Structure 1
Amino acid sequence: MMDSMPSPPSPSPLPHVLVVEDESRIAELIRMNLEAKEFRVSLAGDGRSALALQRESPPDLVVLDLMLPDMDGFEVLQTLRLRQESLPVLILTARTSDEDRLQGLTLGADDYLGKPFSILELIARIQAILRRSQPARELPGRILCSGPFRINLVQLTVHRGRVDLQLTLREFRILEALVAHPGRAHSRRELIQMAWNVDARPLPRTVNVHIGTLRRKLGDSEARPFIQTLEREGYRWLLPVRRSKY
């Protein structure tokens, strides 16, 4: 009797990108180029449609215009964050002032690209964000233990004792950067590059806001500080760190 041939592995599902853009020409351009790179693409021309599509078929990433006919894009971003906190969002907009960029990144956007834009750059940024949002490979040292904290680099979780601290992805990436090199000063520019990979000039207030929120969630205090602010240098992690497989 002949052995049966093993079944071929099932193909991985195509990454799903939701494009929220009211200009149909731009939306179709993005769709055509992403599908050529083997992405599955959904289009929404306004905020309410985008939120409905996100609920029906959660995407792996959202490309979000801010100037929508029915809702402000920042409102859409906030709602997406409430529903799916770790959902990567790339803002693609003609609103390119420092104030708009600051607000978008502070609300949790992973990247911010101004119009007019290069479609090749947009695709490269989408691919980079998706790579960063995937769990880290299971390698020795995938758990960082520091004081009362256990930082899981695979599951992207942080526990203080038995309490899950519920960090956002941006907060996690900042904490990971600090804890991976305890005692070393990290500039705001460096933290922006590691947490957002934004290629523009750094927005120090964005990092300050996230550090403040991170300190609150960690229980950082003057009596027992975990993150130290260094004037003109940035921030550093104060506790010793060890790596563990489990």
Structure 2
Amino acid sequence: MSTMNEAAPLRRADGSAIRVLVVDDESTLADLLSLALRYEGWEVRTAADGSSAVRAAREFRPDAVVLDVMLPDLDGLEVLRRMRSDTPDVPVLFLTARDAVEDRVAGLTAGGDDYVTKPFSLEELVARLRGLLRRSGMAAARQGSELVVGDLVLDEDSHEVRRGDDLVELTATEFELLRYLMRNPKRVLSKPQILDRVWHYDFGGQSNVVELYVSYLRKKIDTGRPPMIHTVRGAGYVLKPGV
């Protein structure tokens, strides 16, 4: 799954996480899809049948839906019809059986935006969803080389970091740590994850390295300002806009 998150992260226009509803009665597949989409930094909700999918869509207000054609109660086409009566513009990606050509034709004719056939690669499905979200105007990629969270701005090309009007001087490792946090705003990142992505080695009693560099970042980013780097006890660290 290491290649999935290399493209520019998609967010809602207001900076909040993309919401995706996954509808499939195969729990193993639904769980796998949820994991892949959460890895993108998106918020995910699942439903195992058509009726609960329609209810979830009303409550969750997703930006996109991954919808299996074959469900135990309502079929995917009926679910699409009911969803579209509430949210007519929500993009829908159908999951169909490889040999069910009529399902693919019917799904697109009924107003589905795209489809993938089972079995499929997670990379392909995520790429298709990203394309749907961009075309629908529901999401915005980061502009140019900048990552922006609240009043914190990191330029990946110039390696400049600013908090408000202040330029923040960082070492190369501090920069990489902050970049990883800013690519995953509002997402709790564990010490093993941070070690793997920033230092490129497995967790092996080296949590003190993460703690040390987080403390360095806090002194440079948060001192005298509303804190952005937070410790989630027993889980890791999360970066979110200061209040």
Normalising by structure 1, we get a TM-score of: 0.49
Normalising by structure 2, we get a TM-score of: 0.50
